[in-house]
Amino acid sequence: MQAKLIAMALLIVLGCALIPPLLASSVSGGERRDFEIKARQYALDPSRIAVNRGDKVHIRPKSLDVTHGFYLEGHDLDAMIEPGKAGFKMRHPSEGKEYARVEEIVFVAERAGKFRYRCSQTCGFLHPFMQGEMIVRPNTLFPAAVGLVVALREGYKHARSLYSDRKRAVYSMAPTAILLGALVTLFLRPYTG
């Protein structure tokens, strides 16, 4: 009986243990974020960048060998990066085919989610593999984490009022904690992988 109780309590604690990572990834956004993305045959390095929604993103793509491209899904951005030249050429595909020479790509990460980026200039055999992704974390995670703590606390208080003994209160909390933990894990999956 004692062992079961400990196991149940552990499950609840595990549910709560998900809260710190939630808090960690919920920085409120609005910061300047700088990235230098190096393109070479056949990779974009880094192949994964992460920002918070509301951040001002500055990207400077650079080619280490031949001419590459940098196309960012969902942002109407396409760059042509030539090796050995200052800056690079950029265009907004929806506005036309003309490129303008710029020093960096600047935009505000307005939508949360996962956006792929890839090379958009055929640069050789393995060109299609030159891909990466930008993660924009939602900054609604902080209220969600606070809500989770309050829900667990209120749930426990409620359970305590239903059952006279602590054991049964803990038992009745377990499914809630497991469910909450599972939901949070599911919700965070695109942002933590």
Q: Which is nearer to Cu ion, 89 or 158 (CB)?
A: 89
The site string for Cu ion over 108-127 (x = CB under 5 A, - otherwise) reads: -----------x---x---x
Write down the residue that tokens 């650079």 correspond to. 62
How many of the other CB atoms lie within 10 Å of CB of 180?
19
Q: How far is the CB of 69 from Cu ion (least distance, A)?
A: 6
Question: Residue 54 region, left (φ>0) first, then alpha (ψ -120 to 50), else beta?
Answer: left
Contact set for Cu ion, span 124-183 (CB under 5 A): 127, 130
* Selection from 131, 115, 161, 173 nearest residue 44 by Cα: 131
Q: Which is nearer to Cu ion, 124 or 147 (CB)?
A: 124
What is the four-CA torsion angle of 150, 156, 161, 166, rounded to 10 degrees?
-150
Q: How far is the CB of 37 from Cu ion (least distance, A)?
A: 13
Q: How far is the CB of 127 from Cu ion (least distance, A)?
A: 4
Q: Kindly list the residues in this chain that would bind Cu ion in the complex (CB under 5 A).
A: 119, 123, 127, 130
